[in-house]
Structures are given as C-alpha cells and as structure tokens.
Amino acid sequence: MLESYLRDKLQKKDILIMTHIVLGYPSLEDSFKIIETMVKAGVDLIEMQVPFSEPIADGPVILRANQQALKGGATVQGCFDLAEKVTRAFDIPFLIMSYFNIPYKYGTTRFVSNMATRNLRGAIIPDLPPEEGQEYLKVMQTLHLAPILIFSPTTPIERMKYLATFARGFIYCIARKGVTGETTTFSEELGSYLSQCRKATSLPLALGFGIKEKADIDFLKGKAEIAVIGTQTIRIMEKKGIASVENFIRSLL
C-alpha cells in the first residue's frame, strides 16, 4: 500500500519529493524521458496528469501543457500505455492526476481497474469531492488504490476530518488559495495551516503549489512529509530542455 511505502521511505529521509508531469507534453516519448530523468535524480513518487481540455484548478503553465498534449494527440489510452511502461521500468510509485470527466467518461470502474492493472498506486482528482465520488472511492478501496484527497487553507477542521475518512496514501495539502504555478510565501502561517492539517489526519501530508527551490523544501521539513514540485519542472524544461530537469531536482535534495 502507498502509505506504508511512504512511511518506509520516511525512515531514511526527512522529506520526500513528489514531482508532477503532464502526460504527452511535449510528447509521450518525452514524458517517458522526463520521468526517467526524475527517477534518476531521486524523486520518491510521481503524479502523472492525464490531460483534460478544462483543467479548472491549474494555472497557465500546466493549463497550456494540457492543451499542447491534447493538440499533440495524447489520448487516455496512450496515457495508460505509457503508465504501464513506466511502472514496469521504474521502481517508485506512480499516481494518476486528472479531472473527473476523464475517468467518468472512460467509466469510473473501468478506469480504476485499468489503473490497478497497470500498477498505478493512486489518483488525485481535484474536482471530485467525496460527496460526488462514492462510486470512485468504493472501487479505489476494493482495488487497494489510494484516493488522494485535498486539504486547502479554507477547509474547516471538521471538513478535513471528514475528508480524511475517505483518503488513503497521503493528504495533498495545497499551500494557498489560487491555482498551480503562482508564488507561495513560505511563512509561519503556512506552518500553522500544516499543523491544523496534522490534527485532522494521521496520513502523511504532502504540500504542493508554488515550491520552487531547496529553501522551500527545507522550510517544510518537520511540517510535511512530501514536497510536491509541479509547475517549476515544466518551466525549467521549457527553458533549458529535458536534460536540465535532473540537475534541478538534485538541487532540491
């Protein structure tokens, strides 16, 4: 199970690194290469976004990556095929990230089964509150996959506790209001938000949205178990090429 994998890892490391990638951006082949680079650089887990035409919670960088991937011909089937390839090739956990319409249209149960078959370990679906996701949560549980739920700074503690009852693997805590890719201030406020999250769940906490450099990650040590690197990798890759992703990630560790 995902949570025990993370706990194991955390025996050896202060904080784990989860990176994010949009499948098919710039192309499915490149996605494989980027993942390879990331694994080599030492990331602990990777969330792979299946591109969607309406990525409501993503900022401009990831939004455009979604669009480019779709323009380039990325399909759900293509993403599954790639997922299968990477889970075979690399020995870290991979998660799917997507908006609900992708599994819904595919057939939620069929989608989740497919994830299981391909050895994916969990999924993040930012527009699916548990109230709407009963079928999804049920199959995820049956197939021992981790539904990663989200806490935000506006989530009341009662709701955090409620969400935690459905969550498996870890909790994805978003660092601030807004969408992906904007600047986050790593301040005391963030610290107290995380300790609030801690009170609501015994699962490991991942913090995402706006992590850019080592200092950010150092700040998080002791406050969260996982640092999520999203937009920044895409920016680096766009500016300096796929190869440079490795150095960037190493610089964070």
Partner 1 sequence: MINRGYYGEFGGAFIPEILFSTIEELVEAFQDARNDPTFWKEYTDIMSTFSCRPTPLTFAENLTKHFGGARIYIKREDLNHTGAHKVNNVMGQGLLVKRMGKSRVIAETGAGQHGVATATMAAKFGFRCTIYMGEVDVARQRPNVFWMERLGAEVIPVRDGTRILKDAINEAFRDWVTNMDDTHYVLGTACGPHPFPEMVSYFQSIIGKEAREQIFEREGKLPARVYACVGGGSNALGIFSGFFDDPVQLIGVEAGGKGLDTSRHAARLALNDSSIGVAHGYRTYFLQDEDGQMKETHSVAAGLDYVGVSPILASLRQKGRVRFEAITDKEVLEAFSLTVKMEGLVPALESAHAFAQAFKELPDISGDDMILINLSGRGDKDIFIVADAFADPKWQGFIQKKAEDYSA
Rounded CA separation 26/74 (Å)? 10
Size of the site for partner 1 (CB under 8 A): 43
189 included as an active-site residue: no
- Beta-bridged to residue 242, according to DSSP, are none
Contact segment (CB under 8 A) with partner 1 among 82-90, 155-163, 218-226, 228-236 equals: 155-163
Q: How far is the CB of 85 from partner 1 (least distance, A)?
A: 19
30 included as an active-site residue: no
Six-digit token pair at 186? 């790593």
Of residues 14 and 238, the one with the C-beta less far from partner 1: 238
Of residues 73 and 222, the one with the C-beta less far from partner 1: 73
Six-digit token pair at 66? 């979604």
Q: Give the Cα-Cα-Cα angle 44, 50, 53 (nearest 5 degrees).
A: 140
- Beta-bridged to residue 208, according to DSSP, are 174
User: Residue 183's CB: how many other CB atoms inside 10 A?
Assistant: 10
Of residues 62 and 145, the one with the C-beta less far from partner 1: 62
Rounded CA separation 99/104 (Å)? 9
Q: How far is the CB of 250 from partner 1 (least distance, A)?
A: 32
Which residues neighbour 81 within 8 Å (Cβ) at sequence distance 6 or greater?
A: 28
Site residues for partner 1, window 41-60 (CB under 8 A)?
Answer: 52-60
Of residues 134 and 187, the one with the C-beta less far from partner 1: 134
Report the interface residues with partner 1, using CB under 8 A. Answer: 52-60, 63-64, 67, 70, 75-76, 99-102, 104-106, 126-129, 131-132, 149-156, 159, 163, 174, 177-179, 182
Q: Which residues are tagged catalytic? A: 47, 58
